[in-house]
Amino acid sequence: EYKMENNKILERINAENNSSREKMQQENNRSWEKLAGIGFVVFAIVVTGLIIISGNKRDRR
């Protein structure tokens, strides 16, 4: 009986550890998605700015 109780407690601890690990991974994935989104927005702004600048240079000539 004592061993059975210990096993149940260990199983519960393992389950809690696994769920917290999964939560951490999900949060990491979300932060990576946010970073990718921000990076894409910055990249789009830079490209747009370069196109506008090159367009202005052509108009001056």
pTM over 0.75: no
The four Cα atoms 41, 46, 48, 54 give a dihedral, to 10 degrees, of: -170
Tally of residues, the chain: 61
- The pLDDT tens digits along the chain (61 residues) read 788 899 999 999 999 999 998 999 999 989 989 999 999 999 999 999 999 999 888 776 6
